[in-house]
Amino acid sequence: MTARDSGIHRIHARRNHSCYGMGLGIIILDEVYPGFPGDVRNASGYPFPIQYEIAEGVDIQNLVRGDDKKALLEPIVRAARKLERMGCRAIAAECGYFAWFQKEIAASVDVPVFASSLLQVPLAQMTIGPEKVVGILVAEGDRLSDRHLTSVGVTLGTNYVVHGAKDDGKTPQFDSLWTKDIRPEIPTADYGPAERDIVKVAKDFAAVHPRMGAMVLECTGFQPFGRAIQREIDMPVFSWSTLLDYAYSVTVHRDFYGHV
């Protein structure tokens, strides 16, 4: 016999929500590239329902590298509202640079919004104490602005350091997926070289900062390798995976079964 939640006796419609039993709604970029299991773009790696909605016209180039982001807000908010109407319990996004719009997205819907893995930076700072630093490993370091950080509650100039994994050309597998003028017509990547390269970048980043006590992975494509990174740097690793697990747990709280 299939188990069910014994607390559910009567069901009722939620205002303007079309579907039920939903999990997380993910705003994804208007791009075509694959993601390894664990990548936010790959729904198969998560133990809860995932619903996607494309922010039409919002691609890597204009979200990460574009100077004028005002025009991006409308399609992003439209995608968030559609996910909310679908019945998603919380909304996230597939790129850490969506941090730019955290406050605006949250103000536009009535469900919690987790727009960027960078939301975990203040938490990581508190857990390791002020004498250690949080390493923020992003895709492109020179594209991370003060607004990206302050929009998710990071106090500028506090105990964090930033490094861009792609800045020095040491992650060609990720360039093959994401970099506009480098990737092939059919974006592709090999797991082994991708893991080797990102682990080395993270390890070198930690080595340069001996006071590092935790690392936050900004990019949605990094967390398939989060455990491999953690084995090398031996410290807490915060990723999109840890954020999405948290987002689901606070909106669909687990029940407990055991004995005394």
One digit per residue, the tens of pLDDT, for the chain of length 260 reads 456 666 777 777 777 666 777 799 999 999 998 899 999 999 999 999 999 999 999 999 999 998 889 999 999 999 999 999 999 999 999 999 999 999 999 999 999 999 999 999 999 999 999 999 999 999 999 899 999 999 999 999 999 999 999 888 889 888 888 887 788 888 899 999 999 999 999 999 999 999 999 999 999 999 999 999 999 999 999 999 999 999 999 999 988 889 98
Going from the C-alpha of 2 to that of each of 5, 6, 21, 234, 235, the distances in angstroms are: 10, 12, 16, 41, 40
The CA distance from 43 to 241, in Å, is 12
Domain boundaries, the chain: 24-116+245-251, 118-239
Reduce the DSSP state of residue 118 to 3 states and report it: helix
Q: Which two tokens stand for residue 179?
A: 């970099």
Q: Which residues fall within 8 angstroms of residue 141, CB to CB, at 6 or more apart?
A: 162, 163, 164, 167
Name the architecture of domain 118-239. 3-Layer(aba) Sandwich (3.40)
What is the identity of the amino acid at 37? Answer: P
* Rounded Cα–Cα distance for residues 50 and 255 (Å): 20
Domain at 24-116+245-251, CATH class: alpha beta
pLDDT for res 1: 45
Q: Name the residue type at position 75.
A: P
Residue with tokens 């480098």: 182
User: Diameter of the chain by CA atoms?
Assistant: 61
pTM for this prediction: 0.91
Which pLDDT score is estimated for 2? 56
